[in-house]
Structure 1
Amino acid sequence: MSHEKSFLVTSDGFGGQQPAPPGPPAYPQPPYPVAPYPQPQFAPAPYPQPGFAPGPGPYPAAGPYPPDFPSAHWDDKSVRQAFIRKVFLVLTLQLTVTFAFVTVFTFVKGVRGFVQRNVWTYYVSYAVFFVSLIVLSCCGDFRRKHPWNLVSLSILTVSLSYMVGMIASFYDTEAVIMAVGITVVVCFTVVIFSLQTKYDFTSCRGVLIICLVVLILFSILCIFIRNRIVDIVYASLGALLFTCFLAVDTQLILGNKQLALSPEEYIFAALNLYTDIINIFLYILAIIGRAKE
C-alpha cells in the first residue's frame, strides 16, 4: 500500500491547499487457510440418533422375533429343523396314547363291554374334545403359552383317544388291526412323498376346505340314507380328503412352500397332523367294517 500523503482541497480562506490528516497504518494481513479446514482434535465422533440405525438405508424391517431368538430368523434352517423335531415328538406321544386306548378297548373284554354299555361317556368325551379343540384352534396366545398349551393338548388327546377306542370297540378285532396297518402305511407314504416332492400342496388348501364342507353335507345325507354302498363311498372320500390334508399340513411344517407355519406354532402343527391321521384311521376302519358285513 502506498505511503504517500493524500491531500484534500479545503477552503482555508486563502485558496491554498491543506494536507489531509494521516490515515491508520496498514498492517500485514494473516494468510487465510485453504480448504479443507483441519478439524479440532477434541471434536466428538458423531453419535447415532436414538431409534435410528446409523448409516444410509435401507434397513431390515423388524420381524416378530421373540426375546429367546434375538438374532435368529424364522427361515433359518436350524430353527426350522428344531421345530420339525418338536412337532413329530409331540405327535408320536399323541399317537402312542391313542393306539394304547384302541388296544385296550379292543382286546380287553371287560373294558370293551363297559364302554359299549355306557355310550353316554362317548358324548362327554366328545364335548371335552370339542371345547379343547376350539380353544387351541382359535386362541393363538393361549396355545403358545407354556405349559397351558401342553395341558390343553393332553386333555384333547385323552378325550379323542377315548372316542377312537370306543368306536374301535364296536368293530371286529381283525378290522381294527387291518385299519391300523393301512393307516400306518398310508400316512408314512404321504409324509415321505410330501417331504420329497417339489409340488406345492399348500396352494390347494382352499380347495380342500371347500371339499371338506361338501363332505360334511354328504355325511348329513348319509344319516337319512342308510345304505352300505353310500357309507363306503362316503368313507372313501373322507379318507382321500384327509390324506390330502395330511400332505398339506406336512408341507406347512417344512416351511419351504408358498405357505408355512411359524416355529412358535408347534402345538398347532402337531394338532393338525394328529387329527388328520385319526380321521384317516376312522374312515379306513369304516370302509373295512362295512366291507366285512
Structure 2
Amino acid sequence: GSDRMWPKYAKGVDLESGGPSALYPGMIESSDLRWAFIRKIYTILTVQLALTAAVAAVVVSVKSVSHFFVSSSAGLGLYIFLIILPFILLCPLYIYRERHPVNLLLLGLFTLSISFAVGMSCAFTSGNIPTILFPLGKISVMIYGGLGALIFSGYIIYDTDNLIKRFTYDQYVWAAVSLYLDVINLIGEMKDWRGWDVEAGGAAAAGGASLYPNMMESPQLRWAFIRKVYTIVALQIVITIGVAAAINLIAPVRDFLLDRSTASFVAGVAIMILPFLGTYAKFQDRMDSFSSPIPCSMTVFDFASSNCSLEMETVMLPMMYFSERHPINFVLLLLFTVCIGFAVGLACTTRGGAAILEAATLTAAVVGGLTLYTFWAAKRGHDFSFLGPFLFAALLALTIFSLIQVLFPMGTVTTRVFGCISAVVFAGFIIYDTDNLIKRHSYDQYVCAAISLYLDIINLFLALLSTIED
C-alpha cells in the first residue's frame, strides 16, 4: 500500500534528486535541480527556526538571563549590541553570501543574534518598536499586529515565488535569510502582547537599584527612558545603513555621484549641506534662564551636541520648535536621519567594502565598550560633565581645521592624523552624552538624546573610515 502511495520514494530515490514535474508553466531549467535547491533552503530554514526556538526558550525560561539584561549596565550594553548585531552582520553576509563556508558561518551568527532578540522580546517586552514609541491601546495594537501579519504574509508569498523562479543555486543563504526573517516577523506580529511592559518599568528594572549614587528619581522610569532612546538610535542606525547601502549598491546612483559632472557636484554638495541647514546651537545656562541661539559651522565630522557647564542641543531648525512635540518630532527625526544616511552613503562611495566593514566593526566595538564603561563608572559615582568645555573646544578646532582642509587640501598622512584625532574626540562625546542620558536628560528630551548619541556614532564611523586604507 505504501509503495502505491509513494512509489518513487519507496524505491529509495534520493530526495535531493528532485522529480520530473515542472514547478510552473514554461519552466526552462531542470526541475530536479530546482527541487533540490528548494529542499536545501527549507532544510536551512528549519535549522534556523529550531535554533531560534531553543535560544529564545533559554532566555525566557532562565530568569537570571532576562534579569541580567534589564538590571545591570553590562546587560544593557549587551542588549544594545545584540539589537544592532544582526544589521551589522547583514553587510558581510550579503558580501559573502555565495562563498562557502564563510556564508554558513555568518548565517549561524546572524541566526543566533536574531534568536536572542526574539527571546528578549518574549521575556520582557509587551510590544514592538512602534508601540513603544507610540503607546497604543489594546484595539490599536491588535489592528497594528493584524496589518503587520498581513504584510509579512505577503512577503512570504513574494519570497517563496522568488525561491521557485528567480534565486540562483548559489544564493541559498540569501534565500534562507529572506524566508527566515519573514517567518520571524510574522510570529512577532501575531504573538500575544501580554507580559511585563518595558516602558512601564517593573521589578526587573528596579532590581538593578540606582544607576548612580544618590539617585533621586525612579530607576524604573530612567531605565525605561534609556531603553527608549537606544531603541530610537538603533532604528536610526538601521535607516542610515539602508540608505547608504542603496546609494552604494544601486549602480546608476553610485555612478552619478562619482561622475565629475556639474550635476553630480551640485548633488554631492546638497547632500552634505542638507542635514545641516538651519542647524543651531542653543546654549542654556543651567544657573539661570538665559538662552541664546548661535549659528554653528559644520563639516563632515563636526555634527554633534555638547555641554560646557551649559547645554548645547544640535538639531534641525524645525526641531528647535518641535523637539518635544509628539509625533512631529519623529517625522522630523526620520527626515533628518535619511539626510544623514545620504551623506554617509556619499562618503562610502569612494571606499572599498573591506574598509567600510572594518570601520563599522571598530565603531560597534568602541561604542559598546564606551557605553559599558560609562554605565559602570556612573554606578560608582564618577561624573563626566567636566568633559564639556574640553570637547566643545576640540569640536571648534576640528571645525576650523576641516574648513582649512577643504580650502587647502592636505596629504593622506594629514587626513589620517585628523581622522584619528576626530575619533578620539567623538569617543569622548559618546562617554559625555551617555552620562547625560543617565543623569541629566529629562523624559521628554528623548529625541535630543537620541540625536546626540546617533551623531556621535556616525561621526566616529566617518572618522575611523578616513584612517583606514583600502
Match of 2:271 among 117, 120, 125: 125
Amino acid at match of 1:176: I
CA deviations 1:182-218 (Å, max 9, x no partner) are 1111111111111112432222111110111112222
CA contact (8 A) 1:190 1:243 kept: yes
Query: SS at the partner of 2:231?
Result: helix
1:101 Cα deviation (Å)? 2.1
Deviation at 1:147, TM superposition (A): 1.0
Instruction: Indicate the residue corresponding to 1:203 in structure 2.
Output: 386
What corresponds to 1:263 in structure 2? 443
Amino acid corresponding to residue 361 of structure 2 in structure 1: G
Task: Confirm whether residue 114 of structure 1 aligns to residue 297 of structure 2.
Answer: no
Q: Within 2, Cα distance between the matches of 1:218 and 1:183? A: 23
1:233–1:160 Cα change, 3 Å: same
Task: Confirm or deny: 8 A CA contact 1:243 1:280 kept in the other structure.
Answer: yes
The answer on whether the counterparts of 1:142 and 1:149 sit within 8 Å (CA) in structure 2 is yes
Which residue does the alignment assign to 1:82? Answer: 224
CA offsets per residue over residues 130-156 of structure 1, 9 Å max, x none? 136448367555200011111111110
The equivalent of 1:251 in structure 2 is 435
Any idea what SS the aligned residue of 2:410 has? Answer: coil
- Asked if the contact 1:222/1:230 (under 8 Å) is kept, the reply is no
Please say which of residues 260-269 and 217-226 is displaced more in the overlay: 217-226
Are 2:243 and 1:101 equivalent residues in the alignment?
yes
Query: Any unmatched runs of 5+ in structure 2?
Result: 1-214, 281-313
| Amino acid corresponding to residue 282 of structure 1 in structure 2 | L
Cross-structure match for 1:153: 333
SS at match of 2:350: coil
More helix by share: 2
- Secondary structure of 1:201 counterpart: coil
Equivalence for 1:166: 346
Q: 1:229 to 1:136 in 2, by over 3 A?
A: closer
CA contact (8 A) 1:74 1:80 kept: no
Structure 1 residue corresponding to 2:374, chosen from 183, 194, 203:
194
- Give, in angstroms, the shift of residue 162 of structure 1: 0.6
8 Å CA contact retained: 2:244, 2:345: yes
Counterpart amino acid of residue 142 in structure 1: F
Supply the RMSD in Å over aligned alpha carbons: 2.3
2:316 and 2:336 in contact (8 A); partners too? no
Query: 1:120 Cα shift?
Result: 2.4
Q: Percent identity of the aligned residues?
A: 26
Q: 1:159 to 1:137 in 2, by over 3 A?
A: closer
Give 2:421's aligned residue. Answer: 237
Contact 1:132 / 1:152 at 8 angstroms: preserved in 2? no
Task: Provide Cα deviations, 1:33-58, integer angstroms capped at 9, x if missing partner.
Answer: xxxxxxxxxxxxxxxxxxxxxxxxxx
Deviation at 1:112, TM superposition (A): 1.9
The one-letter amino acid of 1:239's match is: A
Correspondence 1:55-70 to 2 at 5 A: none
Q: Which has the higher contact order (CA 8 A, sep 6+)?
A: 1
Cα deviation digits, residues 59-98 of structure 1 (max 9, x gap): xxxxxxxxxxxxxx98221221111111011101000011
Q: Is the CA contact 2:433–2:452 (under 8 Å) kept in the aligned structure 1?
A: yes
Q: Larger Cα Rg: Structure 1 or Structure 2?
A: 1
> Which consecutive residues of structure 1, in runs of 5 or more, have no partner in the other structure?
1-72
Query: In 1, Cα distance between the equivalents of 2:458 and 2:278?
Result: 16
2:374 is aligned with 1:220: no
Q: C-alpha separation between the residues in 2 aligned to 1:136 and 1:179?
A: 26
> Any conservation in 1 of the 2:275–2:316 contact (CA below 8 Å)?
no
Q: Which amino acid aligns with 2:322?
A: F
Asked if 2 retains the 8 angstrom alpha-carbon contact of 1:136 and 1:142, the reply is no
Stretches (4+) displaced over 6 A: none
The answer as to 2:315 corresponding to 1:136 is yes
Aligned residue identity for 1:76:
S
Look up the equivalent residue of 2:384 and give its one-letter code: F
The code of the aligned residue for 1:82 comes to A
Q: Distance in 1 between matches of 2:405 and 2:274?
A: 26
Q: 1:111 & 1:261 partners in 2: Cα distance?
A: 40
What amino acid is aligned across from residue 111 of structure 1 in structure 2? Answer: V
- 2:200 corresponds in structure 1 to none
Deviations 1:98-117 (A, max 9, x none): 11222233334333213323
The residue type paired with residue 315 of structure 2 is L
Measured in 2, the distance between the counterparts of 1:137 and 1:201 equals: 26
CA contact (8 A) 2:239 2:341 kept: yes
Distance 1:266 1:154, change over 3 A: same
Between the aligned partners of 1:242 and 1:177, the Cα distance in structure 2 is: 19
Instruction: Give the whole-Å Cα distance in 2 for the aligned partners of 1:142 and 1:105.
Output: 30
Alignment partner of 2:386: what SS? helix
